Amino acid sequence: MLLTRFDPFHELRTLEKRISDAFSSDLNKEVLSNFTPSVNTREGEYAYHIDVDLPGVKKEDISVKVENNLLTLKGERKSKEEVKKENYYKIESSFGSFTRSFVLPDTVDAENIHAENKDGVLEITLPKKALPSVSAKQIDIQ
């Protein structure tokens, strides 16, 4: 009869190795470096509004483009932290790019879209087209 020695920590070592492997692969480093900014949308009486959270992203690194009723936001976040102390020197950089697209309704006045980057939030205002006033018309029945 074959005896198997019981190892109470075998499962813990296996779990530790799996977690270590997951965070050390190049694929996961690439996934962690990209980011998707959160977006809030709302409709007002005269315009649609899109607020995009972009902390740490400079205005120069953001692109807003409208083409064929498609609003596309592109950007890149770059950050670099450098610490120089007496006994050590540390530098950490991180980066990530994003692309978000929105199909615009036909009621958007694409010629007058306004974007403003303020306090890490990109605020895009999409004014609505003025709708022609519709008056009631009596239809004669024949």
Q: Per-residue pLDDT for 7 more than 70?
A: yes
The residue segments making up the domain with residue 118 are 36-127
Total number of domains constituting the chain: 1
The residue among 21 and 51 whose pLDDT is bigger is: 51
Position 31 pLDDT exceeds 60? no
Q: How far apart are CA 110 and CA 68, in angstroms?
A: 10
C-alpha 66/C-alpha 111 separation (Å) is 9
| 139 is a domain residue | no
pLDDT at 11 over 60: yes
pLDDT at residue 9 is higher than 70: yes
Residue range 62-90, pLDDT digits in tens: 999 999 989 999 998 877 778 888 888 88
pLDDT digits (tens, 9 = 90+) for 89-113: 888 777 788 899 999 988 999 999 9
The confidence score (pLDDT) of residue 89 equals: 83
pLDDT of 30: 47
In-domain check, residue 15: no
Instruction: Tell me how crowded residue 28 is: count the other CB atoms within 10 A of its CB.
Output: 12
CA distances, 30 to each of 10, 81, 97, 101, 111 (Å): 31, 19, 11, 22, 37
Whether the predicted pLDDT of 6 surpasses 80? no
Q: Measured between alpha carbons, how far apart are the two ends of the chain, in Å?
A: 102
Q: Alpha-carbon distance 43 to 84, whole Å? A: 49
3-state secondary structure of 112: helix
Classify burial at 71, counting beta carbons within 10 Å of its beta carbon; exposed 0-12, middle 13-18, buried 19 or more.
buried
Residue 118 forms part of a structural domain: yes
**CATH label of the domain that carries residue 89:** 2.60.40.790
Summarize the confidence of residues 6-32 as an average pLDDT.
69
| More confident call, 136 vs 50 | 50
